[in-house]
Amino acid sequence: MMDDDHRVLAGLKVFELSVAVAAPCAGRYLAYHGADVVKVESRVNPDVARLFGSAWARTEEYLPLFMDTSPYLPEMTAGKRSIGLELKDTDALAAAHKLIEGCDVFLSNFTPDALERMGMSYAQLHPVNPGLIHVMMPGFGADPELPYYPFRAFGPNQAPLVGLDALTGHPGEEPAGIASVAPPDYVAGMHAVVSILSALEHRDQTGEGVSLVISQMETTVSLLGPYLVDHAITGRTPEPVGNRIPWAAPTGVYPSRGHDRWVALSVSDDAQWAALAALVGGDALADPGWTTLEGRVAAHDAIDEALGTWTAAISPAEAAARLQAAGIAAYEVLDHRGVLTDPQLRDRRVYDVAPSVRFGRDLFTGHPIRMSDTPASVPWAGPNMGQHTREVLGERAGLSETEIEALMEREAAFGERVPEMTVTRPFDRWYEIVGLVGDDGAADGGEES
């Protein structure tokens, strides 16, 4: 906890029962702004983020701390406290209910039937805490009569389910899909944050708690509004367009000098086309039929070939600089290392480094919303699994040391494993090299607002 905490959600108490990304994403934004978010964890059914671990930790030496090593953990749990409770145990559930008595928000993306079996549904928790904001984030709502109610879902299968993946890829080819990143999870998380803040406002005005059910399918559908409305009115079905759009040409990604190097650009009007043709020079883009948008859309393949010849001769950074100077939207296509060292993101402190019990310090992305007088911040990176069990059960649930010890002995509760064992992440040495921290090892200063 932070002393003299002026962040806007300081004092808000959150009980998070979550896995993967959607609910943890919502919880992390609350934690960034000062909420005391307690993430309840299980060794019997650990969060999938714990199971990822790290490749370097898949050895007998590091096995005791494997579930603390995933880089996903600081990303989703920075600033939170971790408490180990096996909620299928009657006494552990009773301890959880005592903890919930003093909470403002219950946050979970478990399925409604799972919460019911665990004693964590809204109906079961309302008598425990009538003022509780109870937030469920199931894939398909909480009504057992709904067609998809029995289904289980993760972000990567929400995207194809609602048609998002059908828009990816190039015309005439199979959809590319979005497998490695799950936009539905993050969209649902942001919907949850807005809903929680609205519910807290309602409670402030009425004194009443609220049950919130956020369907991840519906939050993902909300991304596709214009496409769905267009289809309802015209019957047209949107198809993959690759890197092209009908209202600007040329637009796309073009090869640059070097291995797998690219520059992206978009010409949005005739004046920009004239500037591009002058920049490239010669007869490459001099076809008079290309001076109109209609002509350029029709000849996009030929333009791409000519333009790609010009971009391939120079580096992506140089190509982007020349194009920008001519008034054309362009930037080099960055890989992950390029993003990590990007000067704009570095100076805006998009990446944060905070103390870690396990690693000394750890890396995660910060919060893009900047508040001038009450900026978001977190005092520590992702906690070890069960790191805060004793202090939370004592401080927030009011259990005695004897009661806590009894839970521990029966393994209904657990603390962190081998807390004395510390390691350094293989990429730790890069923090100073890329400017994420200063020479003294502290997080590097930068723009606050």
Q: Helix or strand or coil: residue 16?
A: strand
pLDDT above 70 for 144: yes
* 6-53 tens-digit pLDDT: 889 999 999 999 999 999 999 999 999 999 999 999 999 999 999 989
Same domain, 279 and 406: no
Non-local (6+) Cβ contacts of 404 within 8 A are 389, 390, 393, 394, 413
349 occurs within a structural domain: no
Whole-number pLDDT of residue 189: 93
Same domain, 311 and 198: no
Residue 419 contacts residue 357 (beta carbons within 8 Å):
yes
* 422-448 tens-digit pLDDT: 999 998 888 887 677 655 555 554 444
| Cβ atoms within 10 Å, residue 409 | 9
- The residue from 308, 340, 372 where one domain ends is 340
Cα–Cα distance for residue pair 443/375, rounded to 1 Å: 15
Same domain, 213 and 70: yes
Closest of 379, 449, 291 to residue 34, by C-alpha? 379
142 occurs within a structural domain: yes
5 occurs within a structural domain: no
Q: Helix or strand or coil: residue 36?
A: strand
Q: Average pLDDT of the chain?
A: 90
Residue 86 contacts residue 41 (beta carbons within 8 Å):
no
Instruction: Report DSSP letters for 197-264, one per residue.
Output: HHHHHHHHHH---EEEE--HHHHHHGGGHHHHHHHHHH-------TT-BTTBSSEEEEE-SSTT-EEE
pLDDT above 70 for 309: yes
Whole-number pLDDT of residue 156: 81
pLDDT above 50 for 297: yes
447 occurs within a structural domain: no
* Residue 325: CATH number of its domain: 3.30.1540.10
Same domain, 156 and 285: no
Same domain, 64 and 190: yes
Whole-number pLDDT of residue 236: 87
Tell me the pLDDT band of 5, cut-offs 50, 70 and 90.
Answer: confident
Domain count, the chain: 2
203 occurs within a structural domain: yes
| Cβ atoms within 10 Å, residue 400 | 10
Closest of 37, 25, 17 to residue 388, by C-alpha? 37
| Cβ atoms within 10 Å, residue 268 | 15
| Cβ atoms within 10 Å, residue 56 | 11
* 331-375 tens-digit pLDDT: 999 998 888 888 888 888 888 889 999 999 999 988 888 888 888
Whole-number pLDDT of residue 445: 43
User: Domain of 61?
Assistant: 13-221+355-433
DSSP state of 384: P
* Residue 59: CATH number of its domain: 3.40.50.10540
Same domain, 136 and 19: yes
345 occurs within a structural domain: no
Closest of 410, 254, 435 to residue 352, by C-alpha? 435
67 occurs within a structural domain: yes
Sheet strands side by side (includes 13-17): 210-213, 133-136, 105-108, 13-17, 36-41, 81-85, 413-414
Lowest-pLDDT choice from 52-66, 150-164, 242-256: 150-164
DSSP state of 446: -
Mean pLDDT of 189-214: 94
Closest of 165, 171, 167, 164 to residue 300, by C-alpha? 171
Same domain, 127 and 275: no
Same domain, 293 and 363: no
Same domain, 79 and 198: yes
Whole-number pLDDT of residue 395: 92
Share of the chain above pLDDT 90, in %: 65
Same domain, 156 and 33: yes
- The residue from 311, 340, 369 where one domain ends is 340
Mean pLDDT of 180-186: 84
Whole-number pLDDT of residue 443: 52
Same domain, 126 and 90: yes
Non-local (6+) Cβ contacts of 399 within 8 A are 95, 98, 393, 407
Residue 168 contacts residue 111 (beta carbons within 8 Å):
no
Placement of tokens 């029709």 in the chain? 298
Task: Enumerate the β-bridge partners of residue 69.
Answer: none
Share of the chain above pLDDT 70, in %: 96
322 occurs within a structural domain: yes
